[in-house]
Structure 1
Amino acid sequence: MDSFKKGWFTETGVLNSSTTNLSIRVDQIIHEQKSDYQNILVFQSELFGRCLVLDDAIQCTEKDEFSYQEMIAFLPLNSHRLPQRVLIIGGGDGGVVREVVKHPLVEQVVMCEIDPAVVDVSKRYLPFMSAAFDDPKLRLLFEDGYEFVKNHPNEFDVIITDSSDPKGPAECLFQEPYYRALYRSLRTGGIICCQAESYWFDLTFIKQLVRKCRGIFQSVRYGSTQVPSYPSGQIGFLVCSKDQSVDFADPVNKFTAVQCTGMQLRYYTSEIHTSAFRLPPFVQKELDSV
């Protein structure tokens, strides 16, 4: 693979540039295969632990995955007064569903993952990610998530899209027709949360996403988290609601310190939730201009 050079895995993780790379030393290749949809790689790193790579892009590492999984799950869930029925698009590594089923108000989770091989690899090699695949709240489907939402209107309180970068098969998950399909699949007051790239490298792209969603949803915000194994160390989420009164920076469901400990949360707190929407001035200025 071109990504391997003298024992290092190198990712070029910028949408519109090839000038910035992230390299991680590979101590051992655990597994590699080509599925019907993508190349799958698992390797061991002294610093990051087990690492999952899809099509040469790091998806998660044992060291820092929880900062992504907890935020993409609880930013929307705790912004909804009663998130009983949840849909996850993608997320085959299991991290998002692991967090979603912890929420005390969630009663049922439907997960649509297009590639069964990712789930299988996670179960075999990433046990810290895949523990919730046997949870009774979960209904796991192996099918196209976009097609699923088009055929299930008015069914979900929260929809989370845990997608790879907008290249190849995932590109449609960042386009206006997909967001309109998500809108129709939500119940009254429903909320979506989608992976929305890094403001350090992809601010123009993020502005395009915000513009699209403001033409569909009544409330739209971009929240941020830190993930050191991603090329910029930062990634964001687009959260949108059918309810104009939703203030994403002020969660309606607030976890106590005891709850966070009991749920084994390592990154998310109610205070972190609020701070996720306190963006640097250069970012906020650009998003306010949309």
Structure 2
Amino acid sequence: MQDLLGLDGLARPPLAATPLVRRGVVMTSLMVGFTLAVPVAEAQVIHTDGAGLNAGEVRIPATGGSLPGYAAAPAAPGRYPVVLVIEEIFGVHEHIKDLCRRLAKAGYLAVAPELYARLGDLSTMTDVPTIIRDVISKAPDAQLLADLDSAAAWATGTGLSGSLGDPARLAVTGFCRGGRNTWLYAAHNPALKVAVAWYGPVGGTPSPIQPRTAADAAAELKAPLLGLYGAADTGIPVPEVEAAVARARAAGKTVELRVYPDTPHGFNADYRPSYRKAAAEDAWARMLAWFRGHGAG
């Protein structure tokens, strides 16, 4: 299933070009359970428990108020490497929360801010076209990048009950739309150590508030980036991704691409029929190794 139809490849403007959204936050808390917009494959859903963790919903100070988010970290007090987890278009629902807990079990402070909280209540939306029209297409990339910066500041300055993030070990990962936004954040934040983009579109049609594609930003990456893609993803042509990788490498950037044969879009989404266990497990191990190998472990 494709998360963004024709809009998934839109990219961010320069920060000075688009004013940040000043209106109030619509979603004041996270949804419970899974998104209503896609069928859930109950038999394969992974549940990671919270044993040995600090984990739960948090409030992240940001422009115009505070955003709801989910965070998880080892319970023992200390400074941990930080992973910013960027959602799909469906919001920070149970799958994204579980990914945060998995990362915490691996020794990270993981935080997933609800990046679309100002634009609509994703917990009530039941179809993809509505989400795209009413939320995703109206989200300025400048705001998104600023909110990710706010989440990083929260993780390293407030954290969870003694579990604090180490600002010198900052990573980002994201899924589908979040994978696209991972490319953009890796071109935005010079303090970032490492990035991993899961099946993030690199092309698309620009708009005034999202004027650059991820491919446009590829030559500006400020951190090593690992791309995890499926060869059977009908919405993200592999040659398009390879061209973005080549552009980054030509600019002297460190980029690695792993393409899984006969694998569709959303192969890590264990709550959806697109899930592919072998590819997802291999990609997760590669992500953790990429983090450790580039200063965020």
Normalising by the residue count of structure 2, what TM-score does the alignment of the two structures yield? Answer: 0.37
The higher relative CO (CA closer than 8 Å, separation ≥ 6) is in: 2
Q: Give the number of the structure whose residues are more often strand, by fraction.
A: 1
